[in-house]
């Protein structure tokens, strides 16, 4: 159930896990946002980070991506220590922030070309073809010559996702990848990640959509207050909590503090706060 300690392996060796985290910690003053987590993820695995708001999921992903320096602990991503050799590690990973970093004054196609340049993807027919395939994959081909400034939220999310794939990363770190996507696009992202997994690409993603985690992830890690309080396959989590047949939602609520929200909502709203029932008297004075 719990993450085994990370093994120390030679950079890039076949035995190297895709992600190996040991004692990873982030403190802000006296507050500990991520509290000494250990995590080992095999190549090709899809692992979901779940947890209540503020549990430390984004902070963990940002540390793994090299955007944020840990206060303590180590993280190896794609066989490379992200602190010791961030350039090399970043060349092998793709990171999607909760607010995708895109340039509104570029068109979708220009943005992908720009990211290709950043990663040193050689120009030419092969690169143009790759960009076009990504634009088609994310159903943005007909918008490719429009400025990103005019893209909807979901379209920005999709061009952000497309931009992660231009350099063929080994590890994807995705903060709420289906945020803002319509059901068809969300399904496509799920299919894409599963296909990439079959090709050996590893994904660590955070999500609040438990159906996605259930359908997509090989294992889930449930975080609370900066710690991983449970990790495993759905069956392992069921066995660990003695809840045969439980859904991921049931397990999540059990592990993170109980499902009594209806009673709580009733109590907090109190008499007179709720809107009148549909079909009741109008609010106007007679």
Sites of contact with ligand ATP (CB under 6 A) = 28, 31, 33, 51, 53-59
What is the smallest separation between the CB atom of 145 and ligand ATP, expressed in angstroms?
A: 34
Contact 144, 109 (CB under 8 A): yes
Residue with tokens 């909502």: 265
What is the smallest separation between the CB atom of 222 and ligand ATP, expressed in angstroms?
A: 11
What is the smallest separation between the CB atom of 27 and ligand ATP, expressed in angstroms?
A: 9
What is the smallest separation between the CB atom of 100 and ligand ATP, expressed in angstroms?
A: 14
Q: Which residues contact 171 (CB under 8 A, 6 or more apart)?
A: 18, 19, 77, 78, 92, 93, 94, 201, 202, 203, 204
| Pick 13 or 31: Cβ nearer ligand ATP | 31
Contact 33, 73 (CB under 8 A): no
C-alpha distances in Å from residue 181, one per residue of 155, 158, 188, 273: 8, 8, 10, 33
**How many CA atoms, within 13 angstroms, populate the side-chain half-sphere of residue 32?**
13
Count of beta carbons in the 10 Å neighbourhood of residue 192: 18
| Pick 115 or 204: Cβ nearer ligand ATP | 204
| Pick 121 or 205: Cβ nearer ligand ATP | 205
What is the smallest separation between the CB atom of 62 and ligand ATP, expressed in angstroms?
A: 8
For residues 246-265, one letter each, b for 16 or more C-beta atoms within 10 angstroms of the residue's C-beta and e for the rest, the string is bebebbbbbbbeeeeeeeee
| Pick 33 or 102: Cβ nearer ligand ATP | 33
What is the smallest separation between the CB atom of 207 and ligand ATP, expressed in angstroms?
A: 9
For residues 118-128, one letter each, b for 16 or more C-beta atoms within 10 angstroms of the residue's C-beta and e for the rest, the string is eeebeeeeebe
Closest-CA residue to 170 (of 1, 11, 7, 286): 11
| Pick 53 or 105: Cβ nearer ligand ATP | 53
| Pick 13 or 53: Cβ nearer ligand ATP | 53
């Amino acid at each position: 159930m719990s993450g085994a300690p990370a093994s120390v392996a030679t950079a890039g060796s076949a035995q190297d896990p895709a992600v190996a985290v040991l004692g990873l910690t982030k403190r802000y003053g006296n507050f500990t946002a991520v509290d000494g987590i250990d995590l080992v993820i095999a190549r090709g695995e899809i692992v979901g980070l779940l947890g209540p708001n503020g549990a430390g999921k984004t902070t963990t992903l940002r540390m793994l991506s090299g955007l944020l320096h840990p206060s303590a602990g180590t993280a190896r991503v794609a066989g490379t220590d992200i602190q010791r050799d961030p350039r090399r590690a970043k060349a092998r990973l793709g990171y999607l922030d909760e607010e995708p970093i895109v340039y509104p004054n570029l068109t979708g196609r220009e943005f992908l070309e720009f990211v290709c340049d950043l990663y040193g993807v050689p120009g030419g027919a092969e690169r143009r073809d790759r960009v076009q395939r990504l634009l088609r994959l994310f159903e943005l081909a007909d918008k490719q010559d429009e400025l990103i400034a005019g893209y909807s939220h979901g379209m920005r999310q999709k061009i952000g996702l497309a931009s992660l794939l231009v350099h063929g990363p080994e590890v994807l770190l995705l903060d709420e990848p289906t945020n803002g996507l319509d059901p068809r696009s969300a399904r496509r992202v799920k299919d894409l990640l599963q296909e990439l997994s079959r090709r050996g690409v590893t994904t660590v993603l955070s999500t609040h959509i438990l159906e996605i985690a259930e359908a997509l992830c090989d294992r889930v890690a449930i975080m609370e207050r900066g710690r991983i309080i449970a990790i495993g396959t759905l069956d392992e989590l069921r066995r660990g909590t003695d809840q045969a047949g439980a859904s991921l939602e049931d397990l999540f609520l059990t592990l993170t503090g109980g499902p009594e929200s209806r009673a709580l909502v009733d109590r907090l709203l109190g008499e007179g706060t709720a809107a009148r029932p549909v079909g009741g008297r109008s609010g106007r004075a007679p």
